[in-house]
Amino acid sequence: MAGFFARIANLWRGFLSLFVEGIEVNNPGAVYEEAIEERVNKHKILKKAVSGIIHLRNKLQHEYETAKTQLVDINAQIPAAAKSGEDDVALLLIQKKDELEAKLAATETELDKVSTQAEDAKVGLVAFQTEIEKLKRERIEMLTKKENAEARMAIQETLSGLSVEADIKALVNVRGHIGKLHAEADISSEINGSSLDARLAKTKNKVGNAQARSQLNATKAQMAARKAGNAQKTM
């Protein structure tokens, strides 16, 4: 049973992962904002830690300088106490001197470690701040690239939608239609010229012309005969 619920949990995590990935792809600006915000928060935490280390370094530095000053004073007081015969005071000063020297050595060792740590922490803090600024610049650059890519894609889609194939096809259709009309007109002329009615009309015209010519010839012959008869009567 536990295995079943574990598989369900894995499936659910996988679904959430795909869902989150989808959100990341669809809204890269929000992903950058979240990443930047996360780093800014970590920078604040790191800054507090660095400030704590620097405060400790400054505290140790102050203790070290104070101990050094006290040691100089004690070293000056010991001979004076011994010279005045105040041996108990001189012994107390010598004990205090030994304690200060031991404290100075320990403080110096600790101060060196903390100072090194503080310097490394400051370098890390500056590097972290630089990373944040770099990420901010990257966000601007990447979102600009995204906008430019989307604009180019939109232009390409627009240009692809303005294909000349439809216009060419329409021109071909119009040209073909006009050609067909011209051919139909030519065929009509040819048919009208070679139809039966047209041939009959031509034949009728020819017959009419022949009859008219025959009548004209007959008239001319009659006129010539009358002219010849008149000439003989005159003789």
pLDDT at 123 over 70: yes
Exposure b/e, 182-209, CB count within 10 A at least 16 = b: eeeeeeeeeeeeeeeeeeeeeeeeeeee
pLDDT band at 203 (very low <50, low <70, confident <90, very high): low
Q: Please check whether residues 47 and 152 belong to one and the same domain.
A: yes
Domain check: are 174 and 152 in the same one? Answer: no
How many structural domains compose the chain?
Answer: 2
Q: Are residues 96 and 177 in the same domain?
A: no
Q: Which of 127, 162, 197 is the last residue of a domain?
A: 162
* Radius of gyration in angstroms for the set of CA atoms belonging to the chain, rounded to a whole number: 61
Confidence check: pLDDT of 205 > 50: yes
Digit-coded pLDDT (tens) for 70-105: 999 999 998 988 888 888 888 898 999 999 899 999
Q: How far apart, in whole angstroms, are the C-alpha atoms of residue 89 and residue 91?
A: 5
Closest CA to 97 of 122, 124, 117, 77: 77
| CB distance 128 to 39 below 8 Å | yes
CATH number at residue 106: 1.10.287
**Cα–Cα dist 150/156, whole Å:** 10
- Same-domain status, 29 and 120: yes
Tens of pLDDT along 35-80? 889 989 988 988 898 899 999 999 999 999 999 999 999 999 989 8
- What is the distance between the alpha carbons of residues 16 and 22, in angstroms, rounded to a whole number? 10
45 and 157 inside one domain: yes
Q: Are residues 197 and 172 in the same domain?
A: yes
Q: Are residues 146 and 36 in the same domain?
A: yes
Residue 25: the pLDDT is 60
Q: How many CB atoms lie within 10 A of CB 110?
A: 15
DSSP string, 140-185: HHHHHHHHHHHHHHHHHHHHHHT-SHHHHHHHHHHHHHHHHHHHHH
Print the domain residue range for 182: 168-234
Share of the chain above pLDDT 90, in %: 23
CA-based nearest residue to 46, from 133, 112, 129: 129
Banded model confidence at residue 18, pLDDT cuts 50, 70, 90:
very low
Contact yes or no for 36/139 (Cβ under 8 A):
yes
Residue where a domain stops, chosen among 121, 147, 162:
162
* Sequence-distant (≥ 6) Cβ neighbours of residue 90 within 8 angstroms: 78, 81, 82
Based on the domain organization, do 146 and 176 belong to the same domain?
no
